[in-house]
Amino acid sequence: VAAGDAAAENRAALVALMLYVQGVDVARLLDEPADADQRPKARSLRLRGRADLAQHFVISAGIAAAGGGRLADAVGLFKELDDSRVGSGFSFADLAADRAGVRFAEAATGPRAAQVQGMLADGADEALFMPAVKGLPEFTSEAEFERQFGAVGTPRYRQVADEIERRIAALPLHADAK
């Protein structure tokens, strides 16, 4: 990373944070010798009081920083569709955290990278970059999802997805970019 390249610094930080939060042993991943006492353990963070939202946000931000927002969006949507079949159910709140993470990574690794660093430097509150999720449908089984929304991309689905985008666009991190 070149000194003063805020976008590259932020990209590296987001990928490192994603690995750290997941407890990935990078030395082992790279087949490097490491002290067993120094192996990281998964960390628990919270956004909007919830660990699951923090995981969605950080993982999506890390994926977006490393591989692009479209990849991160696809991974997040696939996870929710899978959860509707065999997990906790489809969650638009989780998708909101995914999208907020992607938008955060895009801002942090784009032309506004240094500005984002400045906004975060003083220990910014999560309301800077994470929208409220109250009222977004959650815990929706596959059958209930199909009954309520039909499929991904239908007008009813788009209505909720557009509400998520509206909430994210209104956040101080993104409102300042206009």
pTM for this entry: 0.88
Q: Which residues contact 11 (CB under 8 A, 6 or more apart)?
A: 65, 66, 105, 108, 109
What average pLDDT does the segment 15-37 reach? Answer: 76
Reported as a single tens digit per residue, the pLDDT across 92-129 is 999 999 999 999 999 999 999 999 999 999 788 999 99
Residue 102 CA from chain centroid, whole number: 6
Q: Is 177 left (phi over 0), alpha (psi -120 to 50) or beta?
A: alpha
Nearest Cα residue to 42 out of 12, 20, 58:
20
Confidence check: pLDDT of 178 > 60: no
Residue 49: how many other CB atoms lie within 10 Å: 9
Q: Say whether pLDDT at 3 is over 70.
A: no
Greater model confidence, 87 or 144: 144
Query: Each residue of 66-90: b (16+ CB within 10 Å) or e?
Result: beebeebbebbbebbeebbeeeebb
